[in-house]
Amino acid sequence: MSRFVIEGGYHLEGTFQPRGAKNEALQVLCATLLTDEDVIIHNLPDILDVKNLIRILELLGVEVEPLSNKGSYRFNARNVTVEKFQSLLCEKKISLLRGSILIAGPLLARFGLAIINKPGGDKIGRRRLDTHIHGFIKLGANVEVDNYKNVITFRSDRLRGTYILLEEASVTGTANLIMASVLAEGTTTIYNAACEPYIQQLCKMLVNMGAKIHGIGSNLLTIHGVSSLHGTDHTLLPDMIEVGSFIGLAAMTQSNLILKNVCLPQLGQIPDVFKKLGIKILMQGDDIVVPYQDVYEIQTPYDGSILTISDAPWPGFTPDLLSVVLVVASQARGSVMVHQKMFESRLFFVDNLIEMGAKIILCDPHRATVIGLERKYPLRGIEMSSPDIRAGISMLIAALSARGKSIIHNVHQIDRGYERIELVLQQLGAKIKREEEY
């Protein structure tokens, strides 16, 4: 286990290029199971969640070959067999990663059987698998849930196309059902589908593999099943959550940062939401410049009320950046209500921010009111522990802006989503080091 030791209060300067998108990586890696031909994936981030999923694929029999270009890999699933599904080591790995549920759709579609442990991941509240399970049942699968052994088994002689109306626009649920449907017999319609850029990327990759998918980018997908898919070459988008994290970092540390090649059209509301907090964001081609600001002021709505920032399915604001918004607001001029609708435990890390000196009222598990300090009272360094990826990066941003020394434990949570973050920050001028804990 590792920890970060941070000496805060330094302004940062320089250029940063975001890595490949974590959430897209987990989906397209699982899609390699749908064919026995080579699939080449570029721009894969070197992060813990991706490494764990690649290990799961290898345990299933997938050939994995790193290519000469950093972040490029060749995958071939021709040697995957049903007999490998119940590998004990594989089950242990699967239990560590929520994204591993995404192997179920491809395995069920191609082999008629998928056996997985209930997946783990962030401890941010209940994250039901009902969307996946109900969708597979509608496609004709039999599902057995063994709560004692913590195992879910999916079986089907042949999946058949059907109409699916999702109860919630789940990103992983939508991805899983898309991957199951592309090899199903007949036509599948998925309504209330998630339509995030990463879902669009998955669909485009599958189309390049021979799938027939219509409605990409909308919440109504029509999928005509095909008998087989072939190989392809796919490049991941830059991670929009990492882009948003570094916008927040620049604002909190009064830095001057350039974010290169961010794929602006795919960022949705992210730049606009940070602008509502008063942060200056300049667009230069496909780059974002966040210049030094002494103080940023939260916008007041036209009716004079307190600004509320909340999450919503795409094209709404992503829930993965609400933690960063909350931290950034702590040093703004003005007040804001942060409303986290999806997960009831994601705001509990604010206790650490309050201990650092932030003025935050946790109204309930889903809402927090932040009263900005206008930089009159800098945050102070403390010792804390990261409960999940997004809280972890938010606590790191707070520590980098704080006066004095901070220690963050359990940083493997941050490693799950951010590639070698301490080295990136050191290059920008941050005083941070990683220490091993025993």
H or E element, residue 242? helix 240-252
Long-range contacts of 355-361 (CB under 8 A, 24+ apart): 355/382, 355/384, 356/380, 356/381, 356/382, 356/398, 356/402, 358/327, 358/330, 358/398, 359/330, 360/326, 360/330
DSSP states along 48-115: HHHHHHHHHHHHTT-EEEE-SSTT-EEEE-TT--GGGTT-HHHHHHHTT-GGGGGGHHHHHHHHSEEE
CA distance 111 to 80: 9
pLDDT at 341: 87
CB 253 within 8 A of CB 293: no
**63's tokens:** 């050939």
pLDDT digits (tens, 9 = 90+) for 377-396: 999 999 999 988 989 999 99
> Collapsing DSSP states into helix, strand and coil, what is residue 23?
helix
> Residues with Cβ < 8 Å from 284, sequence gap 6 or more?
none
CB atoms within 10 A of CB 227: 7
Count of all residues that appear for the chain in the document: 438
Alpha helix ranges (H) inside 356-405:
389-401
CA-CA distances (angstroms) from residue 249 to 50, 218, 322, 360?
24, 32, 14, 19
CA distance 425 to 12: 8
pLDDT at 29: 97
pLDDT digits (tens, 9 = 90+) for 52-95: 899 889 888 999 999 999 999 999 999 998 776 655 444 555 55
CB atoms within 10 A of CB 4: 24
Which listed residue (36, 38, 46, 122) is catalytic?
Answer: 122
Cα 87 to the center of its chain, rounded Å? 27
| β partners of residue 377 | none
CA distance 399 to 353: 9
The strand ranges marked E within 247-298 are 256-259, 282-284, 287-290
- Nearest to 122, CA basis, from 423, 312, 394: 394
> Collapsing DSSP states into helix, strand and coil, what is residue 370?
strand
Residue whose tokens read 């319609």: 189
CA distance 32 to 72: 14
CA-CA distances (angstroms) from residue 285 to 133, 290, 380?
43, 14, 37
**433's tokens:** 């080091």
CA distance 226 to 146: 32
Q: What share of the chain is helix, strand, coil (3-state, %, to 5)?
A: 35, 25, 40
Cα 88 to the center of its chain, rounded Å? 27
Cα 148 to the center of its chain, rounded Å? 29
Amino acid at residue number 51 = K
Residue whose tokens read 């969307």: 131
Which residues of the chain fall short of a pLDDT of 70?
84-100, 118-128, 343, 438
Is-catalytic flag, 122?
yes
pLDDT at 236: 98
pLDDT digits (tens, 9 = 90+) for 269-289: 999 999 999 999 999 999 999
Alpha helix ranges (H) inside 347-438:
350-355, 389-401, 412-415, 421-427
Cα 137 to the center of its chain, rounded Å? 27
3-state secondary structure 186-230: CEEEEECCCCCHHHHHHHHHHHHCCCEEECCCCCEEEEECCCCCC
pLDDT at 34: 97
